[in-house]
Amino acid sequence: MQKPRLSFGQIWNMSFGFLGIQFGWGLQMANMSPIYKYLGARDDQIPLLWLAAPLTGFIVQPIIGAMSDRTWGPLGRRRPYFLTGAILSSFALVLMPNATGLWMAAGLLWILDASINVSMEPFRAFVADNLAEEQRGTGFTMQSFFIGAGAVIAGLLPWVLKHAFGITSETSAGSAIPPNVKYAFYIGAAAFLGAVLYTIFTSREYPPEDLEAFRRKKSERGGFAYLMAEIPDALRQMPATMKRLALVQFFTWLGLFCMWLHFSNAVPMVFGATDTQSPLFKAGAEWAGVCYAAKDFVTFIAAFGLMAIAATYDRRKIHAVCLSLGAIGLLSIGFIHGEEQKSLLLGALALGGIAWASILSMPYAMLAGSLPAERMGVYMGIFNFFIVLPEILAALTFGPAVKNFLGGNLVYAVMAGGVFMLLAAILTLFVPKTSIAPNRLQRVAEEEGMLPTATPPEIPLA
């Protein structure tokens, strides 16, 4: 079936749900490590407490992808999963800042991450399903735009609620978690559900080309038997370029997880604070959220720069340069000392924002158009393996490593992330080169009213 070209507004609508999804990710990335510390966690326990994120992604994403490939109903193929995940995530976001104990918070993080993954995984396939081939790049770039925008707002929320609306960060006898953090999570819950509902009600999906054949194929096997056969079979037939990107993704996400695990608690150490109840520690934790917002704002801007150069330059070199800048940013944190130098932390994370913009788009571009349409969902989920495996490794090993080899210094733990990201940059140069005809992409950019040189980084076509 020939898919119609969608307007800018239609692509905006179908991607808007990612804004809400990023509220869920952004709030937990900036606040979960401090929340664990407020509830009494030791630094060496925090990596294990973060294990929920990679494990749920590892399990949930390929299963949801395979299930959504075989779904068709009144809400379509992917939208039922958006809605279910958004409802569950919103409940978890409301409950999280009211956790009364460490293991309650850890359990809620498992629920939250599983629910976010249910919503998020089908969104990648949603773009490929609904857009004509020449518009997919615009669709993925729009998702990156909302990822950056949502993360900026989510990261800033506790700081803004305190400094602009006067909601205190001082805790009471009955709660270990500051009120401004609580209200940020409540706002995030409403934003998550609202943004996903907007996409559901303003977007449509196209049925399979032969709906009767689709239903016959679906009925050939039971659901569980299908999953047990489909995922291993897809792994065996994984495209070669995806395999070669595995090492790049592995070390990239090992570096990112070093940052996510420890940066929020490393900033108070940079400030010179170790007591979680001290005003200086809370100021450091809040400033870490501001730094995350700076990173995501740069991501938001850098995505447009990548659009302009992706069609004319070697994507491997683009990605390698961006990862190298991110590595420099993480390594530089070891050379920043005291609250008076806190503005330098913004610059360090801003370099990470350039890397993050590339991570969200360039690996997909280098993957090439080798994913079969009928398996788009399951392969999007399997691609996540290369992300969650290093995160699981980090969660299991970083706690003892920080305690026994880094002397408990979380700044060194963040710097280790820079080393991993630099290694990923080197490995990127060994991925086979891919290319797209620049003339066709230039034509698409001009038709969509973009700057003459602003060609979107789309998934290359076979």
Mean pLDDT of 394-414: 80
Percentage, residues of the chain above pLDDT 90: 16
Tell me the sheet residues that pair with 76.
73
Q: What CATH number does domain 8-202+222-447 carry, 2.40.50.140, 1.20.1250.20, 2.70.210.12, 3.40.50.1780?
A: 1.20.1250.20
90: confidence class by pLDDT, cuts 50, 70, 90: very high
The position carrying tokens 């396939």 is: 125
Mean pLDDT of 99-109: 85
Residue 226 has pLDDT above 70, yes or no: no
461: confidence class by pLDDT, cuts 50, 70, 90: very low
Residue 43 has pLDDT above 80, yes or no: no
Per-residue pLDDT tens over the stretch 44-87:
777 777 776 677 767 776 677 667 766 676 777 788 888 888 99
Per-residue pLDDT tens over the stretch 366-387:
765 556 656 666 676 677 777 7
Mean pLDDT of 206-220: 56
Q: CB under 8 Å to 394, separation ≥6 — which residues? A: 47, 54, 254, 257, 258, 261
pLDDT at site 426 = 95
Residue 235 has pLDDT above 80, yes or no: no
Residue 209 has pLDDT above 50, yes or no: yes
Min mean pLDDT across 135-139, 224-228, 263-267, 332-336 is at 224-228
pLDDT at site 219 = 56
Mean pLDDT of 218-229: 58
pLDDT at site 296 = 79
Task: Give the chain's mean pLDDT.
Answer: 77
CB–CB of 126/78 below 8 Å?
Answer: yes
The position carrying tokens 């290093």 is: 390
Mean pLDDT of 173-178: 75
Question: Which pair of structure tokens corresponds to residue 348?
Answer: 């360090």
The segment with the largest mean pLDDT, out of 16-20, 402-406, 448-452, is 16-20
Residue 446 has pLDDT above 60, yes or no: no
Side-chain half-sphere exposure of 400, counting CA atoms within 13 A: 3
CA distance 414 to 426: 19
Kindly write down the DSSP assignment for every residue of 235-276, as one continuous string.
Answer: HHT--HHHHHHHHHHHHHHHHHHHHHHHHHHHHHHHHT---T
Measured CA distances, 180 to 33, 45, 79, 285, 349 (Å): 16, 25, 33, 12, 23
216: confidence class by pLDDT, cuts 50, 70, 90: low
Mean pLDDT of 187-193: 93
Question: Which pair of structure tokens corresponds to residue 388?
Answer: 């969650």
CB–CB of 389/58 below 8 Å?
Answer: yes
Which of 414, 168, 429 is closest to 323 using CA atoms?
A: 429
pLDDT at site 197 = 93
347: confidence class by pLDDT, cuts 50, 70, 90: very high
Min mean pLDDT across 14-28, 37-51, 98-112, 225-239 is at 225-239
Helices (H) and strands (E) in the chain, counts: 19, 0
93: confidence class by pLDDT, cuts 50, 70, 90: very high
pLDDT at site 451 = 35
Mean pLDDT of 216-238: 63
* Residue of higher predicted confidence among 419 and 144: 419
Per-residue pLDDT tens over the stretch 265-311:
888 888 887 777 788 888 888 888 788 878 878 887 887 787 667 66
The position carrying tokens 């990156």 is: 144
Mean pLDDT of 416-443: 73
389: confidence class by pLDDT, cuts 50, 70, 90: confident
Question: Which pair of structure tokens corresponds to residue 27?
Answer: 């709030």
3 state SS for 65-79: HHHHHCCCECCECCH
pLDDT at site 458 = 33
* Residue of higher predicted confidence among 212 and 127: 127
CA distance 307 to 448: 13
Residue 27 has pLDDT above 50, yes or no: yes
H helices of 98-178, in order, are: 102-130, 136-163
- Residues 260-298 as b or e (16 or more Cβ within 10 Å = b): bbbbbbbbbbbbebeebeeeebbbbbbbbbbbbbbbbbb
* Residue of higher predicted confidence among 261 and 71: 261
Sign of CA dihedral 327, 20, 249, 299: negative
pLDDT at site 376 = 61
Question: Which pair of structure tokens corresponds to residue 336?
Answer: 């920043």
Amino acid sitting at position 397: T
Mean pLDDT of 383-395: 78
